[in-house]
Amino acid sequence: MKQSKQQEDKSGGNMSDKFKVVFTGELQEGFSLEEAKASIQQSFALTDAQIEKIFTGRPIVLKKNIDYGAAERFKSLLDKAGVISNIVEIHKAINKEAVQVQKSMDDTGQHPVTPGNKDIKLELESGEHDLPETDKSFQQQVVRPPVEKTTCAECGRRFGRSEMMPYKDSYICAECKPAFTQKLKEGVPLATEMIYAGFWIRFGAKIIDGIILGIVNTIITMLASPFAAIDAPETPEDVQAFMAVNIIVWLLQMASGISYVTFFLGKFAATPGKMACKIKVVTGEGEKITYLRAFGRYFAEIISAIILSIGYLMAAFDDEKRTLHDRICNTRVIQK
């Protein structure tokens, strides 16, 4: 009996227990509403009306009266679709009342009429629901995740998207809204309207960065030169030592380039060369890039260089002045 009890605990409850899967009304980070709707509709073959009934912003029961294993499988499908759901045990209170009903039936041979009998029967016998229903009791228990936030295109601070005013592909916070509206009336250039940096100003920034990295790499080479002071290696040991030192120098120079680009773009959205030319790197939506995207952009830029620098030349013929590595990483280089 003790072993059976332990197995029940590991599986999430007794096999006779029933559970429901509740969609909290929130999306997982990184998923858009349109993506989640399309994924749910395709996975479960729902109509547009059913989809709209699910995505109301309130907790909705999508599946009920199923065992824990089925609830876990159903929740896994919802997780892949990008929505946040929870498994909630049901029938605790109802089963207790149902036991009293059954006991009364055993004593009298008749089904007693009580105010809750109809609800109990429906709850115990109902199976899967074709349409979702609002779970008001669960709504009180759910701790909602933080609201989706975005960056104000004017002040750069982050606020809940529902509290902000949308403008084209950007958002304006309530504090900046009056001044922003006034700018619109006066025709003043807006921060939301990105002014893309041209080919030649980017070329100038690249030259400055190249000079800085050249100095760093020269220092690395000078520090390693005493260990590689073999003019004409003759023995196999000399050749191996010479090659090992040169490989280490190359790796250090590569690391300095990666660190240089990743740190400055992730921290300031611009390398020193770009700062000097008053340009910066942002996402396609105009937001600051992450360290991870800055890291990936370094290697994407290598691709632009190895194809005879055609990746760089693409900026001269693109409406948004995008190079190949900008296209790969969804970045833009704009004027400050």
Quote the pLDDT of residue 214: 95
pTM over 0.95? The answer is: no
Query: Quick one: which H or E segment has residue 89?
Result: strand 83-90
**pLDDT tier, 1 (very low <50, low <70, confident <90, very high otherwise):** very low
Length of the chain: 336
Sign of CA dihedral 202, 206, 212, 213: positive
All domains in the chain, ordered by first residue = 2-141 (3.30.1390.10), 149-186 (no CATH), 199-335 (no CATH)
For residue range 48-102, list pLDDT tens digits in order: 888 888 888 788 888 888 888 888 888 888 888 888 888 888 754 444 444 454 4
What's the CA gap between 163 and 171, in Å, rounded?
A: 10
For residue range 165-179, list pLDDT tens digits in order: 888 777 888 888 888
Quote the pLDDT of residue 262: 96
203: its two tokens: 């070329």
Quote the pLDDT of residue 7: 46
Quote the pLDDT of residue 190: 62
Q: Residue 215 pLDDT more than 90?
A: yes
Cβ atoms of residues 14 and 5 within 8 Å? no
Q: Could you give the percent of the chain with pLDDT greater than 90?
A: 29
332: its two tokens: 């833009």
* Alpha helices (H) in the chain, listed in sequence order: 2-10, 33-44, 48-54, 68-81, 92-108, 117-125, 136-141, 177-186, 199-224, 236-268, 272-276, 291-306, 310-313, 324-329
For residue range 110-133, list pLDDT tens digits in order: 444 444 333 333 232 333 334 444
What's the CA gap between 93 and 126, in Å, rounded?
A: 16
Among 209-223, 234-248, 263-277, which stretch is predicted with the lowest mean pLDDT?
Answer: 234-248
Look at residues 300, 309, 303, 306 and name the one whose alpha carbon lies nearest to residue 331.
300
Quote the pLDDT of residue 16: 59
Quote the pLDDT of residue 91: 53
What rounded mean pLDDT belongs to the chain? 77
